């Protein structure tokens, strides 16, 4: 998407078309000729997997919407109708429900890779912030989608999450009433959540286009974190990365298919097969697994407004990572101290997820508080200070040197020169 396209139209019609709408050239330069660092590992294939999952969710969601009824007295029955009566309805619904889970697995790996290899650093800050926006939109979409089956967990999840806004001083209650369209979660809420759940994937799609655009200006980061210095450091997107992405995607789909066909309710909650009842709260309400770390933070702070601030702050803070991290070395492979702290941070998030799944009693409360505190200490104190105190390891001079070693790199340069010269031996 950057620079003039190298695409050469093959015939007169394509030349005529390209001079009027250069879209084939755009696709060619973005996804065929696009130079990617040659040392990308499999963690870099999750962007492609995420693009696939977005399309998969839009397609399955579109067909589910043809059979679903967004009305509070009929929604639960219409989901059962999809499961029992609609041709392949069970498959479409399980694809969509487990698709959300797989989407979040992929996005968490994508984010973890970003943090480990320092991909958020200059010149990729806007790319990273667009990613945080996509993540927020995904969370909103997933939350509203979970409400639609109108089971007990749907209803009470919606009640708890929308009640977060009542923590806002003075206007909180008016805002929650406005969100609900009534004095409680009800038909009006369900109907608007359905409309928004249908809209938001297309908003995500729009931001994804910006995300890819912003990616193709500086190009991908890589495991070494050294910028591309010459053509030798790169390979064209097709066939090298299309094939690598495709292989990774197939492996990912094996896992996806396992859950869809053999454990379709593994990530669900049995209480959601009970129709919503506004008068009875389930004994133990939990959000979907991908929200558990944030849910633990919400409960860890013993004040309503404080808990809500911790919840939103934990995500918004991510957008400031490019400036909170003061080190100019990208890859954790060359930052031994940061690497240890980063794994501790990953463990903190997983630990928070575990706390969020448990009842808030005894040591769970204490651990939630400790881990929530560490989450913020890591981002606000450890990250800025480490850049000043840590001595990074020696970095390779180029990507090619990182792949082939110092001798290999110079040999490759010689080879490149030889290859560039016209062959006399045939």
Partner 1 sequence: MATATIAPGTPTRRDFLFIATGAVGAVGVGSVVWPFINQMNPDASTLALASTEVDISKLEVGQIMTVKWRGNPVFVRHRTPKEIQEAQNTPMSDLKDPQTDQSRVQKPEWLVLIGICTHLGCVPLGHDGAYDGWRCPCHGSVYDTSGRIRQGPAPTNMAVPTYSFLSDTKLKIG
- Catalytic annotation, residues: 216, 220, 244-245, 288
Contact range with partner 1 by CB under 8 A, out of 218-226, 230-238, 275-283, 343-351 = 275-283
Single residue of 9, 22, 35, 181 touching partner 1 by CB under 8 A:
181
Residue 373 binds partner 1, judged by CB under 8 A: no
**What is the rounded distance in angstroms from the CA atom of residue 71 to the CA atom of residue 361?**
37
Enumerate the H helices of 71-148 as residue ranges. Answer: 75-84, 89-116, 125-147
CB of 263 to partner 1, least distance (A): 27
Nearest CB to partner 1, comparing residues 3 and 169: 169
Footprint (CB under 8 A) of partner 1, residues 59-88: none
Contact range with partner 1 by CB under 8 A, out of 22-30, 175-183, 318-326, 418-426 = 175-183
CB of 293 to partner 1, least distance (A): 16
Residue 159 binds partner 1, judged by CB under 8 A: yes
Residue 282 binds partner 1, judged by CB under 8 A: yes
Cβ(273)–Cβ(260) below 8 Å: no
Single residue of 2, 6, 184, 230 touching partner 1 by CB under 8 A:
184
Residue 270 binds partner 1, judged by CB under 8 A: no
Residue 151, SS3 per DSSP: strand
Residue 146 binds partner 1, judged by CB under 8 A: no
- What residues contact 261, with CB distance under 8 A and at least 6 apart? none
Single residue of 227, 304, 339, 395 touching partner 1 by CB under 8 A:
304
Residue 288: closest CA among 307, 273, 260, 267: 267
Asked whether the CA dihedral 35, 37, 39, 44 is positive or negative, the reply is: negative
Residue 262 binds partner 1, judged by CB under 8 A: no
User: Residue-wise over 90-122: b if at least 16 C-beta within 10 A, else e?
Assistant: eebbbbbbbbbbbbbbbbbbbbbbbbbbbbbbe
Contact range with partner 1 by CB under 8 A, out of 51-59, 172-180, 327-335, 374-382 = 172-180
Contact range with partner 1 by CB under 8 A, out of 9-17, 30-38, 256-264, 277-285 = 277-285
Single residue of 223, 293, 307, 396 touching partner 1 by CB under 8 A:
307
Per DSSP, what are the bridge partners of residue 35? 236
Nearest CB to partner 1, comparing residues 30 and 163: 163
**What is the rounded distance in angstroms from the CA atom of residue 343 to the CA atom of residue 178?**
42
- What residues contact 200, with CB distance under 8 A and at least 6 apart? 137, 140, 141, 144
Output DSSP code: residue 100: H
Tokens of 328: 């100019």
Residue 160 binds partner 1, judged by CB under 8 A: yes
Tokens of 235: 């390979």
CB of 156 to partner 1, least distance (A): 7
Q: What are the C-alpha distances in Å from 123 to residues 7, 215, 216, 330, 376?
A: 27, 10, 12, 11, 25
Single residue of 67, 192, 216, 339 touching partner 1 by CB under 8 A:
192
**Count of residues touching partner 1 (by CB under 8 A):** 36
CB of 387 to partner 1, least distance (A): 36
Measured in whole angstroms, the distance separating CA 376 from the mean position of its chain's CA atoms is 21
**What is the rounded distance in angstroms from the CA atom of residue 97 to the CA atom of residue 82?**
13
Single residue of 361, 414, 420, 424 touching partner 1 by CB under 8 A:
361
**What is the rounded distance in angstroms from the CA atom of residue 239 to the CA atom of residue 246?**
10
Residue 156 binds partner 1, judged by CB under 8 A: yes
CB of 157 to partner 1, least distance (A): 10
Percent helix, strand and coil across the chain, each to the nearest 5: 70, 0, 30
Length of the chain: 426
Interaction pattern, residues 320-359, with partner 1; x per rule: CB under 8 A: ----------------------------------------
Contact range with partner 1 by CB under 8 A, out of 30-38, 246-254, 283-291, 378-386 = 283-291
Residue 35, SS3 per DSSP: strand
Q: Within a 10 A sphere around the Cβ of 394, how many other Cβ atoms?
A: 6
Residue 28 binds partner 1, judged by CB under 8 A: no
Residue 186 binds partner 1, judged by CB under 8 A: yes
List residues binding partner 1 (CB under 8 A): 156, 159-160, 162-164, 166, 177-186, 188, 192, 278-285, 299, 301-305, 307, 360-361
């Amino acid at each position: 998407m950057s620079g003039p396209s190298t695409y050469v139209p093959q015939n007169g019609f394509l030349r005529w078309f390209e001079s009027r709408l250069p879209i084939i050239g755009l696709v060619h330069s973005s996804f065929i000729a696009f130079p990617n660092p040659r040392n990308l590992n499999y963690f870099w294939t999750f962007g492609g997997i995420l693009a696939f999952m977005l399309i998969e969710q839009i397609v399955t969601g579109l067909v589910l919407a043809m059979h679903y009824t967004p009305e509070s007295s009929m929604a639960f029955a219409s989901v059962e109708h999809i499961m029992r009566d609609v041709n392949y309805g069970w498959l479409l619904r399980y694809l969509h429900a487990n698709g959300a889970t797989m989407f979040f697995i992929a996005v968490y790996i994508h984010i973890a890779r970003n943090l480990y290899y320092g991909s958020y650093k200059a010149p990729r800050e806007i790319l990273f912030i667009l990613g945080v926006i996509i993540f927020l939109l995904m969370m909103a979409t997933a939350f509203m989608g979970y409400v639609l089956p109108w089971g007990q967990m749907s209803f009470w999840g919606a009640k708890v999450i929308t009640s977060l806004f009542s923590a806002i001083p003075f206007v909180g209650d008016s805002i929650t009433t406005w969100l609900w369209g009534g004095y409680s979660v009800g038909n009006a809420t369900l109907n608007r959540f359905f409309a928004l759940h249908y809209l938001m994937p297309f908003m995500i799609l729009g931001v994804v286009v910006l995300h890819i655009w912003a990616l193709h200006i500086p190009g991908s980061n890589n495991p070494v974190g050294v910028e591309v210095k010459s053509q030798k450091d790169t390979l064209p997107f097709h066939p090298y990365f299309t094939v690598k992405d495709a292989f990774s995607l197939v492996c990912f789909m094996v896992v996806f298919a396992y859950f869809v066909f053999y454990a379709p309710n593994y990530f669900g909650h049995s209480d959601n097969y009970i129709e919503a009842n506004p008068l009875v709260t389930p004994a133990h309400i939990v959000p979907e697994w991908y929200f558990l770390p944030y849910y633990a933070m919400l409960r860890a702070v013993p004040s309503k407004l404080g808990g809500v601030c911790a919840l939103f702050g934990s995500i918004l803070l991510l957008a400031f990572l490019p400036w909170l991290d003061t080190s100019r070395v990208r890859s954790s492979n060359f930052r031994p101290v940061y690497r240890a702290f980063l794994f501790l941070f990953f463990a903190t998030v997983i630990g928070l997820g575990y706390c969020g799944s448990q009842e808030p009693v005894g040591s769970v409360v204490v651990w939630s508080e400790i881990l929530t505190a560490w989450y913020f200490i890591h981002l606000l104190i450890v990250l800025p200070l480490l850049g000043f105190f840590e001595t990074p390891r020696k970095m390779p001079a180029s990507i090619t040197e990182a792949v082939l070693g110092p001798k290999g790199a110079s040999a490759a340069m010689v080879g490149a020169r030889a290859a560039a010269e016209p062959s006399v031996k045939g």
